[in-house]
Chain A
Amino acid sequence: METNPPKTVASPAAPNPPAAAVADPIIDIQNLDFYYGQNRALDDITLQIQEKKVAALIGPSGCGKSTLLRCLNRMNDLIDGTRIGRGTVRIHRVDIHQPDVDVIELRRRVGMVFQKSNPFPKSIYENITYGLRIAGIRNRSQLDEVVERSLRGAALWDEVKDRLHDSGIGLSGGQQQRLCIARAIAVEPEIILMDEPCSALDPLATAKVEELIHELKQKYTIVIVTHNMQQAARVSDHTAFFYLGRLIEYDETRTIFMNPSNPQTEAYVSGRFG
């Protein structure tokens, strides 16, 4: 007996268009193709992300969600042999691959938090001020202020305010990840990209980071890649489901999890994906 009755809706082959073309999306991806050498990792991706909202990218391993995330701050440039096939990525209506774009400035405005937390083996203070120092800011009082603001913003201030000069790698896993978030917001980005930020954390630390994301979205646009269905449901406003490099469905999180249009999406979120 089938556990899922057949549906009379959209065919699985055609990906769904975005839920509603947003008036002025902060990130506007149009028909993006991306290659690792000869390998096409992203296939005709069209996606628009709204400002000051959380967008979750979900999908099985190897579907291209991390690749897309890394396209947004051009971290893929660091890997040999990668290229954009066609299509554009626009942030604030500017094509970030056009020749006169300063990649350094792009990466300041589009911050990133990695899956494996990578605090530098310097003190907590030096970790946070790293981004400012490389931009040339040396004024001690200014740095102090930014450190406090960032640590408060990352919900870490109370835990470390007495040991700012202790090494960053001496913190617990959850604290390290929040330190990385604080480090990212110290340079005052507009967009924060998070690549499975909680996958190495225990449930309590995960809850703290999710709580933090909820607060952060008042000031920053957040794009988060996650493997955890429940996390995507808890944390995001919009969810995009990727499979084999294609965008299958992109809609409000509520819809994706209650009643997705595409049967592949349904199969994935229910855990039936093989």
Chain B
Amino acid sequence: MRRFFDAELETFRSHLILMGETAVRQVRDALRALVEGDSALARSVIVADDELDTLEVKIDNEAVRFMNLRAPIASDLRLVIVGMKAGHDLERVGDEASNIAKRAIKLSAEPPLKPYVDIPRMTEITMEMLRDALDCLLQGDEAKALAVCKRDVEVDNLNRQVYRELTSFMVENPETISRAIELMFISKSIERIADHATNIAEETIFLFRGKDVRHTDEVKKVGPAVA
């Protein structure tokens, strides 16, 4: 049976979807701006971050209103709670993308340090994770969500690899230090984005299973930590 306020839930979901798509686009554009040295693109990413901020506020307001007036129970309640949390995670993703774009502008003023290998690789995995997490939010594929959680370790490993490479670069060529540091920050941002994707995946499991799996063995990262 359809209730007269089911439309509000649908609007809420559509805002969440929109936010997800926007965040993914922001990350992709920020990385392209970095790789291609496109400052104009980078600037558009920074400006577009406002969209994500506005959406987060909208989602929070809708969630609070819905809880107040409609007294949701069971899956409706979980949807609203997860929506709020995912909205927050996506807003942070947008902020990280914005940071990458800012640093990309700085880096575009100088010649690239070295061919970018690891960072694009990290980006690819992270974007897949983000897309998968958002897919799960809408479709409820628990197995996929768990897979996202487990992939986070790959991104962590790549991040550490980037640090090692850049550190040895900086030791050998002190004049590259400022560029290297920017890149290290960028790598860190990508790693943070992957963490947020993992959070969204965990929230998805809560949404569909009704069980909070954060910090449990199920989602603990597997695979050897690269020394």
Contact = CB atoms under 8 A, between A and B. Distances in A.
Contact of B10 (A3, A266, A272): A3
B13 A266 contact: no
Contact of B74 (A1, A269, A274): A269
Nearest to A260: B74
B208 A5 contact: yes
Contacts of B1: 267, 272-274
A272 B211 contact: no
Given A259-B211, A274-B1, A5 B139 contact: yes
B74 A6 contact: no
A266 B71 CA distance: 14
Contacts of A99: none
Nearest to B79: A3
Contacts of A8: 142
Contact of A270 (B73, B139, B211): B73
B140 A257 contact: no
Contacts of A4: 75
A5 B140 contact: yes
Nearest to A5: B140
Contacts of B6: 3
Contact of B73 (A1, A6, A269, A274): A269
Contacts of A233: 73
Contact of A6 (B71, B77, B140): B140
A257 B71 contact: no
A270 B140 contact: no
A258 interface: yes
Interface string A244-260: 00000000000001111
Contacts of A271: 3, 73
A6 to B, nearest CB: 7
Given A3-B6, A273-B1, A229 B73 contact: yes
A1 B13 contact: yes
Interface string B194-226: 000000000000001111000000000000000
A270 B210 contact: no
Assign chain B's interface to a size class.
20 to 34
B74 A259 contact: yes
A230 interface: yes
Interface in B61-88: 71-78
Interface string B37-78: 000000000000000000000000000000000011111111
B207 to A, nearest CB: 8
A269 B73 CA distance: 7
Contacts of A267: 1
B35 interface: no
A229 B14 CA distance: 28
Given A257-B73, A260-B74, A266-B75, A1 B3 contact: no
Contacts of B10: 1, 3
Nearest to B70: A271
A254 to B, nearest CB: 11
Contacts of A1: 10, 13-14
B9 interface: yes
B13 A270 contact: no
A263 to B, nearest CB: 10
Contacts of B3: 271-272
Q: Which of A3, A257, A266, A271 has the most CB of B within 10 A?
A: A3
Contacts of B140: 5-7
Given A3-B13, A5-B139, A258 B210 contact: yes
A266 B139 contact: no
Interface in A201-224: none
Contact of A259 (B2, B138, B210): B210
B74 A266 contact: yes
Given A3-B6, A259-B211, A270 B71 contact: no
A270 B74 contact: yes
Nearest to A258: B210
A274 B75 CA distance: 18
B76 A270 contact: yes
Interface in A1-25: 1, 3-8
21 contacts: A1-B14, A4-B75, A5-B138, A5-B139, A5-B208, A7-B140, A8-B142, A230-B71, A257-B74, A258-B74, A258-B77, A259-B78, A259-B211, A266-B74, A269-B73, A269-B74, A270-B72, A270-B73, A270-B76, A271-B3, A271-B73
Interface of A: 1, 3-8, 229-230, 233, 257-260, 266-267, 269-274
What 8 A-B pairs are tightest by C-beta distance, nearest first? A259-B210, A274-B1, A5-B140, A269-B73, A3-B9, A272-B1, A270-B73, A266-B74
